[in-house]
Structure 1
Amino acid sequence: MRFGKIDYLNLLPFEVFVRTYPKPSQFQCFYNKKKSYPARLNKEFLFGRIDAGFISSITALRAQKEKFKAANVGIIARKRVVSVICLPKEQGEDYQSATSNALLKVLGLKGRVLIGDRALFEVLKREKVGDKTYIDMGEKWVANEHLPFVFGRLCVKENYTFYEKMMQAFSKKRVKIPYYILKNAEFKSGIKKQEILNYLKVLSYKIDKKAQFGVERFYRRLRILGIKPPSRF
């Protein structure tokens, strides 16, 4: 049970949930050993170094070919996302995310992609001085397509029954983040705990029918533009 985890604030509710969820000892032994950014976890998953984890949703496009399952739980923006932005005055992809780099092209935007806690920190810094020179890519997608956007998704190669039950429980549970965990997250990220809580309110995790339509729309755009998902070779 080798689980890989995106090491961003956006999965803080899952981090809290999994601490109390009943799980096998082999899961617990490996948990936290493989935590990184989405693009790294894509490779870890495709090369079989982990058998489950939250990875870039673009990688889930390979589910049939690579013989794995994509669960109905992910990291979803239904309006804003805050932590995936385009900086129009700059250039360059973000090495940490395959999905967001592809989304930039799908949206027809020009600029530098920035994701995760670094993007959230940048947005909060700019908003304090009234600087709006960034584009929230989740918000842009929703405005264009009128559908949610799924940035990350749980993908599973083994022990699917265990993960399915776990994710059903997670999607139904309202997670309250303890004060000490918030303070630790504040210390590590440099983002104040209330700002972390405000950020988490814009995210959801259950991929319902509308979010699934958003996934399919994104995949169709990728095919039209000839953008291929990450692969082992």
Structure 2
Amino acid sequence: MKKTVTIRVIVGVVVGIFMVSAWAHDGKPDWSNLKLFSTAVFVCTAMFNVWDFLLWRLPWIQRIPGAGIPRSLRGTWKGTLTSFWIDPATGSNPPPKTVYLVVQQTASLITVKLMTDESKSTSALAMVSEVDGSVMLTYMYLNKPDLRVDHRSRIHHGSTVFDVSGNPARRLKGHYWTDRDSKGELDFVERNKKNLADDFTEAVELFGGTT
């Protein structure tokens, strides 16, 4: 949505400039410059896309203070999920498990996918924000368990809040809550910046492991 609005603003600015230039000759319209209109829109849109997909996450641009540039979290992260849910059969919490977080991000959009050996969560709404110098990643998600565990783990919604450490980001640590009245902690300290895993098996292989 934000990207679409930005492109519309770019187009609006270009139209405005051409309209002003058309009437800049003794108050009489001169439409000869309009033949360059489509070229100008193309150039502006291309410049925006170069910024949105590449330039904003360059290390030296990320470090510009007060520029409002979101922290780059893009990549596949490896970490640990610790659930506070109590198993009624044992009266204890399940053991921590290795999980993977895949962050797809441009300057204007971000989506988050959390993968475990039993389920996959996909963000419905996500954002990176900065408050008083602290950077946070927050998102709401839908979790879809594998069919083989559906009898004990139903589809559910939840939300997650991460504190982001470092620039470049080196750690994501936070909490999650679900509409099943469960909650827990998430801690990610390993990151593969270049690859975005499609599933749990691929994520495991990215970090040199086997399933």
TM-score, structure 2 normalization: 0.28
More helix by share: 1
More strand by share: 2
Q: Whose radius of gyration is greater, 1 or 2? A: 2
